[in-house]
Amino acid sequence: MKPIESSTQLVWVTDPHFDFLETDQIDRFLGKLATVSRDSGDGVVVMTGDIATGKTLAEILRIIHEAIPRVFFVLGNHDAYGGRITEAREIADRFPGYLTTRTQPVVLTPTTCLMGHDGWADGRAGNYHASPLMLSDYVLIKELAGLSREERFYQLNVLGDLAGASVRASLPRVLAIRSHVILATHVPPFQEACWYKGKISNDNWAPHFSSRIMGQILVEVMMAYPDKRLTVLCGHTHSPGVYRPTENIAVYTGGAVYGQPEIQAIFSADDTDIDFEP
């Protein structure tokens, strides 16, 4: 895919849950996205997960890519519902916009690149062992179903670690060639970015809705590049907020309502301070 022009605008959407919509509703929203991106100067649409479910993912991704010329995305937990995470990623990898398996970043401008990874809640934030929550993930996703609490904790650790290792390997390479990186991911990489109704999620919810290992890796990498900037776009919690763990990292968590997908923000790729009102 060719490098994109220096005036690139990004149109960010998260947790659209298209499986809650009728076909005509999906078409209308995608038409709106296509129009907004075109009116923004051939802008780029970025989707940060929970696009569909396992059974509907392939068809929804096909429709999205047919409707929007320039779209990039990562997957969320809902995208594996009714199947396996590996199966969802195999489906996503058939489409050119899937960021998790891209070997090269998307060059947006002379100073900014886009990269991404699905991510996964690793269970380490908050207090997993005292949490009474039983998510649908742990019933509807085959890698997590039928496990004991301890087995599930181990599996969450593994999923989070694999995502973190991928970003640890790729982020420094991107920072070496650009001064600003936009990282698209689904799960907030800090408990402090795990918003719910204007507040930070407590220790019961945080294990299931944030990835501590990803946050640790981002801070570690960015400390080695104090003059570079990292903008993180994520979702998962359905509540918006902004968290800045360091001077050169900004984490934007998007909101969502089932059946009512919306644009989170439209901004220039080179913006390091997005006009985003939680």
**Is residue 233 within 8 Å of 260, Cβ to Cβ?**
no
Domains, the chain: 9-268 (3.60.21.10)
- Write down the pTM of the prediction: 0.95
pLDDT, the chain, mean:
94
For residue 244, what are its two tokens? 């800045």
Distance CA 205, CA 200 (A): 10
pLDDT at 1 over 50: no
Q: 98: helix, coil or strand?
A: strand
Residue 200 pLDDT > 90, yes or no? yes
Q: Write the CB contacts of 42 (distance below 8 Å, at least 6 apart in sequence).
A: 4, 5, 8, 69, 70
Are 144 and 121 in contact by the 8 Å Cβ rule? The answer is no
Please report how many Cα atoms fall inside a 13 Å half-sphere around the Cα of residue 177, on the Cβ side.
14
Q: Could you read off the pLDDT of 125-169 as tens digits, one per residue? A: 999 999 999 999 999 999 999 999 999 999 999 999 999 999 999
Q: How confident is the model at residue 38 (pLDDT cuts 50, 70, 90)?
A: confident
Q: For 48-53, what is the mean pLDDT?
A: 98
- Strand pairing report for 9-13 and 112-116: unpaired
pLDDT in tens, 220-243: 999 999 999 999 999 999 999 999
pLDDT recorded at residue 273: 87
- The DSSP call for residue 21 is S
**AA identity, residue 91:** I
Residue 73 confidence class, pLDDT cut points 50, 70, 90: very high
112-116 and 180-184 strand pairing: parallel
What would the pLDDT profile of 83-100 be if each residue is shown by its tens digit?
Answer: 999 999 999 999 999 999
d(CA 55, CA 53): 6
Residues in the chain: 278
List CB contacts of 117: < 8 A, sequence separation 6 or more.
74, 99, 100, 163, 166, 167, 183, 185
For residues 31-51, give the mean pLDDT.
91
